[in-house]
Amino acid sequence: MSSTRAEELAEVLWELKRAGKVATFTTIARRAGFSAGTNGRAVQSALRVIRRDWPHLQWWRAVKDDGQLSKGSEHEERLLESGFNVMPVAGKEDLVTLAEFQEILMQWEDEEQNGEAAKG
């Protein structure tokens, strides 16, 4: 049985797929209406449910807030298969990060407007 969080997160993953983008755990959680939790644990828990219940959804479009992932992981493999590029993390042989990270991140209009309102 899926959780409400997983269902909401599934909707966000669908948006990411249509846009051809990725998003951070915090941004995805906020979009889905909940907190990402410490180190994104709430999102990671919901992603496990999604992988189990809806394996066709592109769970790998959800990335840690710093864009880093384990080198050689399934996560890296799926991103590469989808045309995203990675590069090594300086001083950390076991990690890679998404190349052009800021450019491939999904930006929702309402978040951009909220950011502008906070600045003004």
Q: What is the mean pLDDT of the chain?
A: 89
Residue 47's domain is classified under what CATH number?
1.10.10.10
- Give CA–CA dist 86/17, Å, rounded: 19
Q: Is the pLDDT of residue 119 over 70?
A: no
Q: What is the pTM of this model?
A: 0.86
- Give CA–CA dist 86/39, Å, rounded: 21
Domain count, the chain: 1
- Domain range for 100 is 4-119
- Give CA–CA dist 92/71, Å, rounded: 10
What mean pLDDT comes out for the span 102-117?
Answer: 69
Task: Please list, residue by residue across 20-53, b when 16 or more beta carbons sit within 10 angstroms of its beta carbon and e when fewer do.
Answer: eebbbbebbbbbbebebeeebebbeebbebbeee
